């Protein structure tokens, strides 16, 4: 192994000018990805590890080995590029999260998620900025401007959705998953607004109208991003439906009509899958083009696509999309952690701080402390507020759950790295000592929070919610109150398909739940609208005939 790597490294140096270097690095990278997948599989049942930590550690180890063999010259084979991350790797991951998310759980908790994602991020950002301003001046970090401090706040207030996906399990803890992951998605919209605000507003003349301006911007961004994600889907189902069933009459939008008239051939799974992938990607890129939140757009695109479009395509397309989106997202997640791990050891970045290691350690510690404090400062008060609005105590977020929400959102990952690179290397003055310290501190925070906080999350959940790993039982069952609202305590999955099979007619248990939990009303109204208008037009479960004996019928639970 060591010998092989040595020869690879020497080869790399030999041919570093030609394009053979990229072949070598791709080889190493793909081999490492395979290793991560196999190792991650073997460690799956481990109490502590998860795939992201495995990949991160493998990345760091590889970095060390390369550093040793190249004689301390270079450790990273691929240079971290924001483009690669934001244009290619992130969209499939977030799209898949939207595609596979338990929609009901997400929309029932919508207000809480918005509260955490928008207000929470603002609180977090403010506390980190204020804290950094006060403490960094005493630490001799170097000359940082007000804009830099605000950027630090925004960088470290950005929850990493990818980390959350790795740490929390949607089947074991659906409520916590939807809250923390949903917060991460909304958080992105807030971060975009924050970053724009920081770069556009005149920071020397702060007046109260900025708050109004800011709120307006946020609402505009949130609504337009969501609508864009939904709109992309409006064009897709008619096209695909017409490819499949050229003689069906119930799908009659204008575009559908035109294509239906032109239609000649047979349907094709490959075309359907390709169109679904490309349209989802297009939604992300369109959002980025219009300076909206691509993450929010592609997330809602995933939700809508799995709700309508997915039911219109052929069965093999359904199986293929389901698994290929999941596979893509799975590989890209591992890729990102491997990448961050390998990039962390880059010797260039550590050169400037080697003369004052104390300052770097102190900065990282201060930032970690601020992150812990800032997250605590909004999770507990906002959970209290959210609980106030809920009547049934079974719906309230228990204190133990609040602790897990606080802890599970502490990890900082590739998003923070990318934002830090953007802010502190943008004007080309990485040579400034303060900027170099901020970059290395960010790397330290990312590595420490992912590995240490990540390792402790699984045991923490096991400790605080001893019964949660029983698959299929909602987290809420373990709260002390034995509420009659069965609809919340049964696995959400079963409940969703129940309602679908009934075709909108709710069973007694659901009606009981309706009376005891009035906050469900918004979701119920949407349901009605969906059943009577949206699904007949755009297609969806129950409005596309299910072939008897097909896998989607037999293994229905598997594809949900």
Under rule CB under 8 A, residue 428 binds its own copies = no
Q: What is the 8-class DSSP label of residue 293?
A: -
From 25-33, 383-391, 448-456, 512-520, give the range in contact with its own copies by CB under 8 A: 25-33
Under rule CB under 8 A, residue 281 binds its own copies = yes
Under rule CB under 8 A, residue 45 binds its own copies = yes
Q: Where are the alpha helices (DSSP H) in 102-253?
A: 103-108, 110-114, 121-138, 146-157, 161-167, 174-200, 209-244
Under rule CB under 8 A, residue 270 binds its own copies = yes
- SS3 label, residue 554: helix
Whole-number Cα distances in Å, 193 to 130, 262, 291, 462: 19, 44, 10, 37
**What is d(CA 430, CA 424) in angstroms, rounded to the nearest whole number?**
7
Q: Which residues contact 255 (CB under 8 A, 6 or more apart)?
A: 235, 238, 239
Under rule CB under 8 A, residue 274 binds its own copies = yes
**What is d(CA 484, CA 62) in angstroms, rounded to the nearest whole number?**
54
Identify the residue among 13, 70, 268, 430 touching its own copies (CB under 8 A). 268
Sign of CA dihedral 413, 415, 420, 421: positive
Identify the residue among 4, 14, 23, 494 touching its own copies (CB under 8 A). 23
Kindly state the smallest distance separating residue 11's Cβ from its own copies, in Å.
8
- Considering the complex, state which of residue 11 and residue 524 has its C-beta at the smaller distance from its own copies: 11
Kindly state the smallest distance separating residue 198's Cβ from its own copies, in Å.
17
Kindly state the smallest distance separating residue 324's Cβ from its own copies, in Å.
4
Identify the residue among 4, 10, 16, 27 touching its own copies (CB under 8 A). 27
Identify the residue among 135, 277, 514, 534 touching its own copies (CB under 8 A). 277
Find out whether 295 and 188 touch, Cβ atoms under 8 Å.
Answer: yes
- Considering the complex, state which of residue 81 and residue 133 has its C-beta at the smaller distance from its own copies: 81
Kindly state the smallest distance separating residue 244's Cβ from its own copies, in Å.
11
Under rule CB under 8 A, residue 551 binds its own copies = yes
Kindly write down the DSSP assignment for every residue of 462-493, as one continuous string.
HHHSTTTTSTT--GGGGSS---S-HHHHS-HH
Q: What is the 8-class DSSP label of residue 506?
A: P
Identify the residue among 71, 72, 265, 428 touching its own copies (CB under 8 A). 265
Name residue, tokens 């490294």: 9
Whole-number Cα distances in Å, 498 to 114, 475, 491: 28, 20, 11
- Considering the complex, state which of residue 315 and residue 498 has its C-beta at the smaller distance from its own copies: 315
Near its own copies in 330-359, by CB under 8 A: 330-331
Kindly state the smallest distance separating residue 456's Cβ from its own copies, in Å.
22
Tokens of 272: 């359907």
Kindly state the smallest distance separating residue 277's Cβ from its own copies, in Å.
7
Name residue, tokens 């049964």: 490
Residues 296-335: x/- map of binding to its own copies (CB under 8 A)?
-------------------xxx-xx-xxx-xx--xx----
**What is d(CA 495, CA 486) in angstroms, rounded to the nearest whole number?**
10
- Considering the complex, state which of residue 532 and residue 558 has its C-beta at the smaller distance from its own copies: 558
Kindly state the smallest distance separating residue 262's Cβ from its own copies, in Å.
5
Let me know if 313 is exposed, middle or buried by CB neighbors in 10 A (0-12, 13-18, 19+).
buried
**What is d(CA 194, CA 442) in angstroms, rounded to the nearest whole number?**
19
**What is d(CA 501, CA 505) in angstroms, rounded to the nearest whole number?**
9
Kindly state the smallest distance separating residue 439's Cβ from its own copies, in Å.
19
- Considering the complex, state which of residue 33 and residue 452 has its C-beta at the smaller distance from its own copies: 33
Kindly state the smallest distance separating residue 553's Cβ from its own copies, in Å.
11
- SS3 label, residue 201: coil
Task: List phi, psi (to 5°) of 386.
Answer: -60, -40
Q: Where are the alpha helices (DSSP H) in 1-101?
A: 2-14, 20-42, 51-69, 82-83, 90-100
Number of residues that bind its own copies (CB under 8 A): 60
Identify the residue among 243, 305, 408, 439 touching its own copies (CB under 8 A). 243
Under rule CB under 8 A, residue 44 binds its own copies = yes
Nearest CA among 335, 333, 332 for reference residue 78: 335
**What is d(CA 293, CA 186) in angstroms, rounded to the nearest whole number?**
9
**What is d(CA 326, CA 503) in angstroms, rounded to the nearest whole number?**
29
Kindly state the smallest distance separating residue 471's Cβ from its own copies, in Å.
11
Tokens of 482: 């034995």
- Considering the complex, state which of residue 41 and residue 528 has its C-beta at the smaller distance from its own copies: 41
The whole-angstrom distance between residue 133's C-alpha and the CA centroid of its chain comes to 29
Near its own copies in 66-95, by CB under 8 A: 82-83, 87
Identify the residue among 65, 197, 285, 361 touching its own copies (CB under 8 A). 285
Tokens of 340: 């961050």
Rounded to a whole number of angstroms, the CA Rg of the chain reads: 25
From 70-78, 166-174, 187-195, 545-553, give the range in contact with its own copies by CB under 8 A: 545-553
Under rule CB under 8 A, residue 278 binds its own copies = yes
Kindly state the smallest distance separating residue 73's Cβ from its own copies, in Å.
21
Q: How many CB atoms lie within 10 A of CB 250?
A: 10
Identify the residue among 160, 288, 395, 531 touching its own copies (CB under 8 A). 288
Identify the residue among 4, 16, 42, 250 touching its own copies (CB under 8 A). 42
Under rule CB under 8 A, residue 558 binds its own copies = yes
Q: Which residues bind its own copies (CB under 8 A)?
A: 19-20, 22-24, 26-27, 30-31, 33-34, 37-38, 41-42, 44-45, 82-83, 87, 239, 243, 259, 262-265, 268-271, 273-275, 277-279, 281-282, 285-286, 288-289, 315-317, 319-320, 322-324, 326-327, 330-331, 549-551, 554, 558
């Amino acid at each position: 192994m060591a010998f092989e790597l040595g020869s690879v490294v020497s080869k790399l140096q030999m041919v570093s000018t030609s394009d053979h270097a990229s072949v070598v690095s791709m080889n190493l990278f793909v081999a490492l990805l395979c290793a991560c997948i196999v190792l991650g599989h073997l460690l799956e049942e481990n109490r502590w590890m998860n795939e992201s930590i495995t990949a991160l550690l493998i990345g760091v180890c590889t970095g060390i080995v390369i550093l040793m063999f190249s004689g301390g010259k270079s450790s990273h084979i691929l240079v971290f590029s924001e483009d690669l991350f934001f244009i290619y790797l992130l969209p499939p991951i977030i799209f898949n999260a939207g595609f596979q998310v338990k929609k009901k759980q997400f929309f029932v908790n919508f207000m809480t998620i918005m509260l955490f994602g928008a207000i929470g991020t603002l609180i977090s950002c403010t506390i980190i900025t204020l804290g950094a301003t006060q403490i960094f001046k005493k630490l001799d970090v170097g000359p940082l401007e007000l804009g830099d401090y605000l950027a630090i706040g925004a960088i470290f207030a950005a929850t990493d959705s990818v980390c959350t996906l790795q740490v929390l399990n949607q089947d074991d803890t659906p409520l916590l998953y939807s809250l923390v992951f949903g917060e991460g998605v909304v958080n992105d919209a807030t971060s975009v607004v924050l970053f724009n605000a920081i770069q556009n507003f005149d920071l020397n003349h702060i007046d109260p109208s900025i708050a109004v301006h800011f709120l307006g911007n946020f609402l505009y961004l949130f609504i337009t991003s969501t609508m864009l994600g939904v709109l992309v889907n409006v064009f897709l189902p008619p096209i695909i439906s017409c490819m499949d069933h050229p003689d069906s009459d119930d799908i009659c939008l204008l575009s559908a009509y035109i294509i239906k008239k032109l239609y000649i051939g047979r349907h094709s799974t490959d075309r359907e899958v390709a169109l679904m992938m490309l349209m989802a990607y297009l939604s992300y890129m369109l959002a980025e083009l219009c300076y909206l939140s691509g993450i929010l757009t592609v997330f809602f695109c995933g939700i809508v696509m799995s709700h309508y479009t997915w039911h219109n395509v052929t069965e093999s397309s359904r199986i293929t999309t389901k698994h290929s989106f999941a596979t893509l997202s799975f590989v890209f997640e591992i890729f990102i952690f491997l990448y961050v791990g390998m990039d962390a050891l880059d010797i260039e970045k550590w050169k400037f701080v080697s003369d004052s290691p104390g300052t770097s350690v102190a900065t990282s510690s201060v930032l970690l402390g601020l992150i812990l404090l800032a997250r605590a400062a909004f999770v507990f008060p906002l959970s209290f507020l959210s609980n106030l609005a809920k009547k049934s105590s079974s719906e309230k977020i228990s204190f133990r759950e609040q602790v897990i929400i606080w802890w599970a959102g502490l990890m900082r990952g590739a998003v923070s790295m990318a934002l830090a690179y953007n802010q502190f290397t943008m004007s080309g003055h990485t040579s400034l000592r303060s900027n170099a310290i901020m970059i290395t501190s960010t790397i330290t925070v990312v590595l420490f929070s992912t590995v240490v906080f990540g390792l402790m999350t699984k045991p923490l959940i096991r400790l605080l919610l001893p019964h949660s790993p029983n698959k299929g039982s909602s987290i809420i069952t373990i709260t002390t109150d034995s509420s009659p609202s069965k609809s919340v305590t049964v696995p959400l999955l079963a409940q969703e398909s129940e309602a679908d099979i009934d075709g909108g007619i709710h069973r007694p248990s659901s009606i009981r739940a309706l009376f005891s939990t009035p906050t469900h009303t918004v979701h119920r109204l949407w349901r009605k609208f969906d059943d009577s208008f949206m699904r007949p037009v755009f297609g969806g479960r129950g409005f596309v005939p299910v072939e008897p004996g097909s896998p989607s019928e037999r293994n229905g639970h598997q594809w949900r």
